[in-house]
Chains A and B, each alone.
Chain A
Amino acid sequence: MLAVEGLRKTFNAGTPNARVALDGVSLTLEEGDFAVVIGGNGAGKSTFLNAIAGEVGVDAGSIRIDGADVTRLPTHRRAGAIARVFQDPLAGTAGAMTIEENLALALRRGSRARLAFALGEQRRERFRVALAGFGLGLEGRLGQKVELLSGGQRQSLALAMAILVAPRILLLDEHTAALDPKTAAAVMAATVNAVDSARLTTLMVTHNMQHAIDYGNRLLMMADGRIIFEARGAEKRRLTVEALVARFHLTDDKMLLA
């Protein structure tokens, strides 16, 4: 499914500001794996996801999706296989376009845009169904511009867009971190629901230890650009927040011991 081998990335290499963000990261995700990534600030989590998506070019290593080497492909040529939800609710949607136009783009993610009208009644019906599950009433506002939505609504739309057409790989980077607790819980519930029901192969970054314990079949911890700990299956199920904290002396403020 996803096979990452020996990824290395140094930002500002050769300058006094050089930062090693990825220091030999390897990871294989099997079909249906739901891996949660934790680690302190600057551990390299976002860089790792950006490298998989193509936003960050790597210095060494390889990325394969379903056996195809995509290491040198630009973001837009990987988009057919990868869907993302970003931390910033503004990042994943086009504010100047309507809800239905955003969804129409997502419907054709990775395929060549055609010279055919993007919206029809059939598509709108599909969008209504996709949005109704979030219980935010967005299905009744298809023609409104996305910039009118609240952060939580916008992030729900971004998630709806990511799963509208099941991606081969779903990348989530602290996608509930910018939301208030209630909205965050709703978006997380919708995420887990979608990932479970479609068995999406997922990589999710979070600072919430409870989420890391509760969700996914694999847990990865990153530090200094490396994966320093991994638990899966039964071992992951046995993990507790206390055990994680004790084992890694986690003192990071951002680690929410919810």
Chain B
Amino acid sequence: METLSVFWNLVPITLLQGVIYGFVALGIMVPFRMLSFPDLTAEGSFPLGGAVAAAAIAGGLDPIPATALAVSAGMLAGSTTALIHLTLKLNTLLCGIIVLTMLFSINIRVMGTPNTPLFAYDNMFHVLLGGAARVLEAQIALVAGLVLATAGLLFAYLKTEAGLALRAVGANQMMARAQGISIWRQTVWGIALAGGLCALGGAIVAQNQSFADVNMGFGVLLNGLAAVIVGETLVGRATILRQVLAPVVGAVVYYQAISFALALGLAPSDLKLLTGLFVLLMLAVPSIRGRRETLRIRE
């Protein structure tokens, strides 16, 4: 079977892609699931992370501080979305669209050009893996370790008093206020954290492919959302541990599924349509089910 062998040969490179996008999926899960704040900023903070990391590395900064800078930029982008929502009381989706659109211009400003090649520079893989920097298996192990460590830290955080405060804001704002929790503080911090995670994903992608492009964010939100949904279907979301593992597992599985679809001969340009339909279907299932239940009750 040629299809299978094509797919099989792509498994490792797709696995790397999957674990990298695990950061983005985590950054999408936090606003949607922890804060009940549907946020689209990912679409802008992801390329922002790539742009900032690339510009910094090309400007002579070491890859690790450059990556940290990218994360800070993503956090700033997230805070901006949150603050627009909190001050102007605009719909969160609209706030996200405004910020991600503005980020397109900012990303070009940051890089000075629409794309920045990094082939001439050492990147985080060189720093962290040394001689094994170009070994795919080593790259996978490194990023998988990083994303699992991040998920672990997030899990631990969500179990602290501070993490409970964050989740309370997503669960019941009236109750959160009555318990002395600042909606503003938790929302800004949570959306900033999400922006930082998405930017980290962008920074790693840029360094892995050795260039950053202003268009690299296109469709990343829907991909991330699809990954979260796949993960939640497989892992569930009944506990915080599952909720935190789901995006990572989901990203890995989702990108393998995409790769399989491509191996079957699907045109890459049709992927966005399919991903959109998939997300739509998954979102429709519970609401269709819900409708049936209410019908049954009425009978």
Query: Which A residues fall within an 8 A CB radius of B?
Result: 53-55, 74-77, 79-80, 82-84, 86, 90-97, 101, 104-106, 108-111, 113-119
Contact = CB atoms under 8 A, between A and B. Distances in A.
- The interface centre, meaning the residue of B157, B168, B176 with most chain A CB atoms within 10 A of its CB, is B168
Interface string B147-182: 000000000110111111101101110111111111
B160 A116 contact: yes
Contacts of A115: 157, 160-162
B183 interface: yes
Given A76-B177, A105-B179, A113-B181, A95 B159 contact: no
Given A75-B178, A118-B159, A105 B165 contact: yes
Contacts of B164: 97, 101, 104-105, 113, 118
- The interface centre, meaning the residue of B162, B172, B183 with most chain A CB atoms within 10 A of its CB, is B172
Chain B: number of interface residues, binned into ranges: 20 to 34
Nearest to B162: A113
Contacts of A109: 178-180
Contacts, number: 96
Nearest to B156: A117
Contact of B178 (A84, A96, A114): A84
A54 B182 CA distance: 13
- The interface centre, meaning the residue of B164, B167, B176, B179 with most chain A CB atoms within 10 A of its CB, is B179
Contacts of A106: 179
B103 to A, nearest CB: 30
The 3 tightest CB contacts between A and B, nearest first, are A79-B180, A94-B171, A110-B180
Given A94-B171, A97-B168, A118 B161 contact: yes
Q: Interface on chain B toward A: helix, strand, loop, or mixed SS?
A: helix
Q: Interface on chain A toward B: helix, strand, loop, or mixed SS?
A: loop
B170 A96 contact: yes
Given A76-B181, A91-B174, A97-B171, 11 more contacts: A75-B178, A76-B176, A79-B177, A84-B178, A91-B172, A91-B175, A97-B168, A104-B161, A105-B164, A108-B161, A115-B161
Interface in B117-148: none
Contacts of A119: 159
Given A114-B161, A114-B162, A118-B163, A76 B180 contact: yes
Contacts of A111: 180
A94 B160 contact: no
B237 to A, nearest CB: 10
Contacts of A105: 164-165, 168, 175-176, 179, 181
B149 to A, nearest CB: 17
Contact of B177 (A75, A96, A116): A75
Contacts of B182: 74, 76
Contacts of B165: 105, 113
Nearest to A88: B174
5 contacts: A92-B174, A94-B171, A94-B176, A96-B171, A118-B161
B167 to A, nearest CB: 6
Nearest to B34: A96
Nearest to B167: A97
Contacts of B161: 104, 108, 113-118
Contacts of B175: 91-94, 105
A115 B181 CA distance: 14
